[in-house]
Structure formats: structure tokens, C-alpha cells
Amino acid sequence: MTTTNQFIKPVTVKRDKNLFIGGCDMTELAKKYGTPLYVIDEKTLRDVCRDYKTAFKNYPHTKMMYASKALCTSAISKILDSEGFGFDTVSIGEIYTVLKSGISLEKVLFNGNNKTEEELDFAIKNGIGRISVDNFYEVDLISKAAGKYNKNVDVLLRITPGIECHTHEYIKTGQLDSKFGFDLSQIDDVINKIITEHHNIRIRGLHAHIGSQIFETKCFHDEIEVLIHEIFRVEDKFGIKLDEINIGGGLGVKYVPKDKPPSINEIADVIVGSLEHHIKKYKVDPPTLYIEPGRSIISTAGVTLYTVGSMKQVSNMTKYITVDGGMADNPRPSTYQAEYVAEIANDTEGREEEKVTVAGRFCESGDILINGITLPKAKSGDILCVYNTGAYNYSMASNYNRVEKSAMVLVNNSQSDMIVKRETLEDLVSHDVIPDRLK
């Protein structure tokens, strides 16, 4: 069965001279809201959420936690909440966004390798559901905040399982030499520290994450084996029954035709099969399984619209077409050498095709969005739609070159709604301060 992580384009894409997504004409959206413009297709987003829940129906102890770092806005949080997802957060900003969206923090996990005292204080004060403990330093900080508010705090211990997946070097997180989590030799020491020194911390289970944009399946099988073995070992040694495991997320998506990610169903079969096998092998009770998909939830639902501006033909070499965005609204090509599929959204009937490189507007030679793509011959004023930009585009965006951050629109059933306002020039200087001595 094909699932939405195996699509490149949103499920509602249609072409009638102009390009339509969610029943909305992309050229009309560009006129109404301006470009660059992030567009999120609500149906695709909800479909992939339901794909996940259906795929894991055979393991009823499963809880879905959306990895907010992929894209965190109030409207996106409301949609995920309505689909029964909790939230994996990595900063006070993400926690605050979820909280201000009217969502109970009981559904939220706080993760990260250097949580500040302020962040932990805020999370615990507001009733965070789980904290993933990453290091010895934050054990003391958690206990301090828990004591301040007279609370007991439920935690998972984040471990590095020593598993490497074939993904980009910068998005591997489960290998032994990693900044994240306790290595396996440190688990007993942190458990001893908590049970002897910090009675307001309750260890509920283990948390691991093995990477991002993963196309393999065996690494999930191996990860679960490590986690279930550790649950067995900890109960045997300490008499502590751990009843939760969080295996992170990381399932890859299809950005370009050559990408062949496993389907959500294939991943679910491997995970559930490994759980059943190792539960039986180690004779432990079935734990609650937390899964943290992010990219594979939101990426395909998102596109970015740009307006084509200048063009340049290098003699006997590359033809460049330049758009009004680039590395500030999508840093992934310059950071991870990410690849994309795109098309011109307005009517191009009768135009010849040509191979071009899509360049950004920013003052860096590396500001290239797409290398060597075949498109109908572009004209200034055309609207270019770049697919699969829902994850890590807005969330990693910057004000490089002092350019305003882009707006975001949600489309569904031929209706469009602004969910993130475009920054203004006044926004850019609103936090600047000129000292009196310079006036």
C-alpha cells in the first residue's frame, strides 16, 4: 500500500492550465498573499496522520508524538492535536506555542541535549507530560524545579543505542559518538543517581532516536532490541519496571523520483514485529510505544511559491533563473545538499522546455535551490512551485540579508487561510536598540 510519505506532491494537486492545491489556484494565492509563500495542504497533512494511526493499529499501546521541530505554528499544532497526536518539543518556544494553542502540556515531551534552567522551570510549572533526560547535569535541574513547584516529574532516559543509519552525517543521532543522550555504559549510573538523590523524579522508560530521513528498516528493528533488552536488564538489576519506550522518528520522505523511502506500513510492520519478538524473548510486559514522526508528517503537505525575476545564460554553460527567495526561506540545499521537484504554477502551454538552475536572491554563490531542472521556458513574473517544503523550511528560516520572513497559508476545500503573517520592515527593526551615546 502506498502511503503519503511516498508522494512528492500533495494529494490534492490538480492542473487546469494553472496549478491547484487544496482547490486553490496557486497563481491567485501568489497574487493575494505575495511571494515567497509557504502553502500547507490540510488534507495531505490529515491523511498522513491517519496513515500512521492505521499502520500501528495492531499495537494498541502506541502513542503518536509529532516532532514539532519540523514545523511548529499554532494552526499546525491545532490540526495535529485534533488528529490525536501529542508533541515532541525541543525548546521553550515550541512548548509555549503548543500551550498557547490551547493544548494541555500533559501531551508534550520535552527533549534536547542542553535544556536550560529557565526552560525546565517553565515546562515543569506548566505540567509537562514527560521530560527526556539527556545528561547528568539536567537531572539536578529537573529535581530543583520539581522541588520548587512541589511536583513529581515523569522522565524517560535518552540513550544512544549505538546504531547508525545511512543518512546525512549531520542528521545522525543514534551512533555511539553523539552529543545526544547517555551511552549504554552510563545507564546504571544515572538510575542510581535518580533513585538515591532525587525522589521527585520518576523514571518511566527509555528514549532513543537514530537519525533523520531514514530509508532503511532494519535499524528500527535493532533499536527496539536494544531498548527492550535494557528494560529487561534494568528491572532485573534495580527492580524498576519501565513501561514506556520512545523510538524517535526519522522516517524518510520522497523529495525526488530517485528517493525510495519505505512506506509507513512497512516501517510499522518492522517495528511491531520487532516489539512482539523481543517482548516474548525477554519476557517483559508490552510497553507503551511512543513514535515521533516530524518530516514524514508535514513535508509533503507543504510547497513554497516563488516569483521568477532575473535570468542569466552563461555562454555555452548554465542558464540561471532567479526567484525572490532562496537560502533564507529554505536553507536545506546549502546545508544538506537537498534536492527538490518544482514546476511553474501558471499556464505554460506552448512553451518549449529547457534545463535550468534555480538560483536564490541572496548574496551567496551557494544560494542555489535546484540544480539542473527541466522546466518550460521561464519568463519573469512566472510563479514557481517547489514541492515537499513543509519540513525544516520555515522552521530553519532566517532574516539573512535583512529580508523579511515569508507568510504561510493553509489551503483546504478551495479555501485559503493565513496561518503565519509575513514579516514587515518594521518587524525587522522592532528589536533593534540604538544606545543614547550614538544618537
Do the Cβ atoms of 391 and 302 come closer than 8 Å? yes
Catalytic residue among 24, 72, 219, 363: 363
Report how far residue 106's alpha carbon sits from residue 233's, in angstroms, rounded to the nearest whole number. Answer: 29
Q: How many CA atoms lie within 13 A of 214 on its CB side?
A: 24
Environment class of 432 (CB within 10 Å of its CB; exposed 0-12, middle 13-18, buried 19+): exposed
Do the Cβ atoms of 109 and 65 come closer than 8 Å? yes
**In sequence order, what are the residues at sequence separation of 6 or more whose Cβ sits closer than 8 angstroms to the Cβ of residue 66?**
80, 85, 86, 87, 88, 292, 293, 294, 297
Do the Cβ atoms of 272 and 58 come closer than 8 Å? yes
Is residue 363 among the annotated active site residues? yes
Select from 275, 217, 277 the least CA-distant residue to 245: 275
Select from 145, 173, 151 the least CA-distant residue to 161: 173
- In the three-class reduction of DSSP (H, G, I as helix; E, B as strand; rest coil), residue 376 is classed as strand
CA 237 to chain centre: 36
Instruction: Specify the residue for cell string 533488552.
Output: 229
- Bridge partner list, 407: 37
Residue 259 is which amino acid? D
Give percent helix, percent strand, percent coil of the chain, each to the nearest 5.
35, 25, 40
Select from 45, 53, 38, 33 the least CA-distant residue to 76: 45
Instruction: Specify the residue for cell string 524545579.
Output: 145
Instruction: Specify the residue for cell string 520572513.
Output: 405
Grid cell for residue 389: 517544503
Cα pseudo-dihedral 226, 227, 228, 233, rounded to 10: 80
Do the Cβ atoms of 4 and 51 come closer than 8 Å? yes
**In sequence order, what are the residues at sequence separation of 6 or more whose Cβ sits closer than 8 angstroms to the Cβ of residue 419?**
40, 73, 74, 75, 76, 408, 409, 410
**What are the residue numbers of the active site?**
363
